[in-house]
Amino acid sequence: MYQEDEGFRVGEFLGYAWPFAIGTVVAAVMALILATPVAVGVALYISHYAPPRASKTIGYIIDLLAAIPSVVYGAWGWLVLAPQMVGFYQWLSDNLGFIPFFGGSPSATGRTIVTASVVLAVMILPIIASVSREIFIQTPKLHEEAALALGATRWEMIRMAVLPFARAGIISGIMLGLGRALGETMAVVMVLSGAGFSLSLISASNSTIPARSPTSSGGAAAVDALERADCSGAGALHHHPGRERDRPLGGLAEQRILGSQLMSETDTRIPTATSVAGPAGPLLRGRAAPPA
């Protein structure tokens, strides 16, 4: 992507990065579509429908879901959810294969962008539900009682008094969930096995930016290859008295070997004291220094 004579090649970079950028946006949007209605419904049930004891219990469970590490969600999506989705993907391919989103060969492992979106939806659901619940609770009681006094049902009261008041808070919770969905790495790396982008959502040919991060195998290999190419192409110079001067370093392995040799030579050249004379006698003992 970068050459000293040509500089940064934008076209090659965009050709490499755009599939992962599109996959990231698609996974995040699908996660929001799945999580937002469920989260708002749970928040409404906790704040206006559930009994006080059940409301507290469900609220604690929702808050605990936000504290589960990403690795646990990723392992659940990889080992439990993905195998269960294989049959569903096959059914979509057989019955709705004429739609581009469900065309192509379905994944045999279930590790697709839809599976990653479901995992992301479960991860961002507690965030949206917690923010929405707090906003629903802050709705002025006078507005709710006035709507009920005018003969409105509970749902009509929620639609006319609660939802308009909480609209800004719901959008804020959705944006917080979107931020986590876009930046989540571990769960997507463990679930998604794609390497590009296609319109089919049930095939293993899609990927995201977090899935290609340096923590994944492909990202680590790419970073290592770039480091080796940079070391060999730039020709980093090494200068050391008594050796070949200005010799270009080859790769990372040669640098590590050379570094260990320098450390060993430095260790043999430093004299060590056998004793330190003083009124209290020897204070420091060690191995004798090699003769000059």
Token readout for 242 is: 């008594």
Note the pLDDT of residue 165. Answer: 93
- Per the document, the length of the chain is 292
Counting Cβ atoms within 10 Å, is residue 278 exposed (0-12), middle (13-18) or buried (19+)? exposed
- Which domains, from first to last, does the chain contain? 13-221 (1.10.3720.10)
Note the pLDDT of residue 237. Answer: 40
- Per-residue CA distances from 277 to 104, 150, 273, 284, 290 (Å): 84, 100, 11, 9, 20
Nearest to 45 by CA among 217, 197, 202, 162: 162
Cβ contacts of 187 within 8 Å, gap of 6 or more: 70, 71, 73, 74, 77, 116, 119, 120, 123
Note the pLDDT of residue 168. Answer: 92
Note the pLDDT of residue 20. Answer: 76
- CA angle centred on 146, ends 144 and 149, rounded to 5°: 110
Please tell me whether the overall predicted TM-score, pTM, comes out greater than 0.75 for this model.
no
* Sign of the dihedral defined by the CA atoms of residues 189, 190, 196, 198, in that order: negative
Note the pLDDT of residue 232. Answer: 46
Note the pLDDT of residue 8. Answer: 59
CA dihedral in degrees (76, 80, 86, 89; nearest 10)? -40
Asked whether 202 and 87 are in contact (CB, 8 A), the reply is: no
Counting Cβ atoms within 10 Å, is residue 207 exposed (0-12), middle (13-18) or buried (19+)? buried
Note the pLDDT of residue 188. Answer: 81
Note the pLDDT of residue 25. Answer: 86
Asked whether 240 and 262 are in contact (CB, 8 A), the reply is: yes
Residues of the chain with pLDDT below 50 are 194, 214-227, 229-252, 267, 269-289, 292
Note the pLDDT of residue 106. Answer: 81
